[in-house]
Structure 1
């Protein structure tokens, strides 16, 4: 089982370049121990409600937040690897979707 708790840096998104991802601050996801968390990239940010699969290798989440001040919500998932990286997909309800890669931050 891989422990997802902590901060995960967004290292690549299919739909947006890294300059956009890091526009306000370095793009990242944070997974807290209580099944909640947070993310920010570009002008999109939100609160996360996540579940880890029984084998500990997949995170599925829903989120609510905003995109440049407009209320948004969505869902997503990540497949975790033992190397501290994960690949998945991020969806904005009735909007964009993007493949995404994250890397576990050491601090």
Structure 2
């Protein structure tokens, strides 16, 4: 499925992450990722908060995806990393988030 910013822009509620349970995921606020029309955005889950910028990448024989780099904080320490988002079906996205210190997790989110 070809991804475009128009298809994925907006606010998404993170329902699940591979590495963290619900107690951590929604610790401070309802976990979310928000993608703006220009490819910038913001996310928060648990005590991790970041701002990102990215764009759509397409590879031969693979689905396109929105890839981004981010900066922010994790438990009051500066943090950065990268990630990507794929549209898996209408109003559902899946992705992967990497924190520079080595933590990483897949996630699934639904449109708010």
More strand as a share of residues: 2
Structure 2: 5+ residue stretches without partners: none
The CA deviation at 1:57 is 4.8
Counterpart of 1:19 in 2: which secondary structure? helix
SS, match of residue 53 in structure 1: strand
Task: Quote the residue 2:25 is aligned against.
Answer: 21
For 1:23-102, what aligned pairs fall within 5 Å after superposition? 23-53=27-57, 57-102=64-109
Q: Which deviates further from its counterpart, 45-54 or 89-98?
A: 45-54
Q: How far is the alpha carbon of 1:53 from its aligned partner?
A: 3.3
Aligned residues: 105
Moved over 2 A (4+): none
Q: Structure 2: how far apart are the matches of 1:31 and 1:48?
A: 9
**Alignment TM-score, normalising by the size of structure 2:** 0.85
Instruction: Give me the TM-score of the superposition, normalised by structure 1.
Output: 0.88
Per-residue deviation, residues 31-52 of structure 1 (Å, max 9, x unmatched): 1112110000000001011212
- 1:103 corresponds to: 110
Could you tell me which runs of 5 or more consecutive residues in structure 1 were left unpaired when the two chains were aligned: none
Distance 2:74 2:39 in 1: 23
Corresponding residue for 2:11? 7
Q: Aligned partners of 1:82 and 1:67: how far apart in 2? A: 30
- Judge conservation of contact 1:74–1:92 (CA < 8 Å) in 2: yes
Write the deviation string for residues 18-73 of structure 1: whole angstroms up to 9, x where unpaired: 1211111100000111211000000000101121236x952111100001110000
Distance 1:57 1:101 in 2: 17
